[in-house]
Chains A and B, each alone.
Chain A
Amino acid sequence: MSEMDTILDAEERGRTGLWPFWRKPYAKGDPLPAFPAPASRAHRFDEGDPLPEEYKSLLLRMLRHEGERAGNKSFLGLMATCLDLAEALFPDRESKLIKAEYLAEELKHAIMFHRLAVGLERDFALRDVPYAHYSFHLPRETWADDAYFHFFVDLNGAFHSRDWRESSYVPLAKMATTVERDELGHSEMGYHFLQQICSEARGRELAQRLLAKWYPAALDMFGRSDSPNVPKFIRWGLKTIGNAEIRDLYKGYVDRKIAALGLDVPDERRDRKFL
C-alpha cells in the first residue's frame, strides 16, 4: 500500500453521515459557479522545469498566501488555535469530532503543499510565513465566530483552488481538485454549525451581529480590484480570473447561503478595507 493509499484508507474509515461535508453538495452537481476559460494556455511548467524568474516569483508569492505547508510554523499555529477552540467552545461531542476530522484534513493539505514546495524551492519548504490578511486574525470568541471563519475563509480557499485547476504549474493543477473539494467541505462544515446556531432566536441574533464582522473581511480577502499583479498572474497562466471577478462570484455564492439562514446580507461596501 502506498503512502497516499494509507491516507485515503484513513479518510474512508473516518466517514460518517456528515463527514466529509463536500459529499452532499458535489452529489448534486458542481456546487461552485463557472469560472471563465483561461485566456491563454501558452505556458506549462512541471516540477524540475527551469522557471522564468517572474513566473517563479509570482508562484512563490501565491503559495506564501496559501500557507498550508507542513514547514510553515504559522500555519501550524493557526491549526493549534482551531484545536484549542474545539476543546474550549465545542457545543457537543459530535461537533468536537467533526473539528478533529477538519484538522486531520488540513494537515493532509500541509503534506501535499510541502511536497509541492520541496519540488519548487527547497528553502521555501521550511519558511515561516504568518498569514498577513486580517481575516485570519479576527477574534473568535464563540462557536459562531469559528463557524463563520470556516464558512468564509475555507470557501475562499475552495474558490482559489477551482482557479488552480487550470494552473500552468502542473503540480498545483494536479492537487487543485482535491484541495477545492476539501475546502468546500470545510466551508460546509462551518455552514452546518451556523444552521444549528440559527435554529433558535438568540443564536440567530448573535449570528446576525457577528456577520457584520466577518462579511467585509471575507470580501476583502480577494484583494484590491485594481491590483497591478493580477494581469501578470493571468498572463503566466497562474490565474484565470481577476480579483474583482472572483470576488463577485464568491459574493453571489455566500449571499444565497446567508439568506437561506434567515439572515440579512450586509451592505457589501460597509467596513471594507480593500476595494
Chain B
Amino acid sequence: MSAIAEEIRQAYAAVGITLDQPATFGTYYRLLCAGCGRILGHVGDKLLPGMAAEIVSRQGDLYASGLLGCSCGHQKRMQEKPR
C-alpha cells in the first residue's frame, strides 16, 4: 500500500469507514462501511499529502448529522463516541 493510500486508510478508519483493496487496475479504492460492509464510495490514491485527513476531518459534522455515511448509522455513532 502506498504512503498516500495508507494515509487515506487511517483518515477514514477514524470515522468508521474501511479502505477496501484497490479496485480494477489499482488506482482507485472502494470505501466500505466498517459497520455493515456497504459500499459508500470511492477514492483515488493520487491525493496530495495531508489531503485525505483534512477532507475527512472537515466532514465530521456531516457524518454526525447523517448527511454523509452509511444508512446503518455506523459513522454517526462513531462521531457521538467520546474521544
- In the complex formed, the residue of B with least CB distance to A72 is B25
A141 interface hit (Cβ, 8 Å): yes
* Contact of A138 with B27 in the complex, beta carbons under 8 Å: no
- Give the A-B pair count, Cβ closer than 8 A: 87
Least CB distance from B65 to A in Å reads 9
Q: Which residues of B contact A141 (CB under 8 A)?
A: 31, 40-41, 68-69
* Contact of A138 with B67 in the complex, beta carbons under 8 Å: no
Q: Which residues of chain A in 208-222 are interfacial with respect to chain B, using CB atoms and an 8 Å cutoff?
A: 209, 212-213
Q: Which residues of B contact A206 (CB under 8 A)?
A: 62, 67-68
Mostly helix, strand, loop or mixed at chain A's interface? helix
Please tell me which stretch of A42-50, A129-137, A187-195, A230-238 contacts chain B, meaning at least 4 of its Cβ atoms lie within 8 angstroms of it.
Answer: A129-137
- In the complex formed, the residue of B with least CB distance to A133 is B46
Taking residues whose C-beta sits less than 8 angstroms from the other chain, chain A's interface range is 20 to 34
Contact sample, A vs B, 29 pairs, CB 8 Å cutoff: A74-B25, A76-B24, A77-B23, A78-B28, A80-B23, A80-B28, A81-B28, A84-B23, A88-B40, A89-B41, A128-B25, A130-B27, A131-B46, A137-B27, A137-B28, A137-B43, A137-B45, A137-B46, A138-B43, A138-B44, A138-B55, A139-B41, A139-B52, A140-B41, A141-B31, A141-B41, A206-B67, A213-B55, A213-B58
Task: Spell out A's residues near B (CB within 8 Å).
Answer: 73-74, 76-78, 80-81, 84-85, 88-89, 128, 130-134, 136-142, 145, 202, 205-206, 209, 212-213, 273
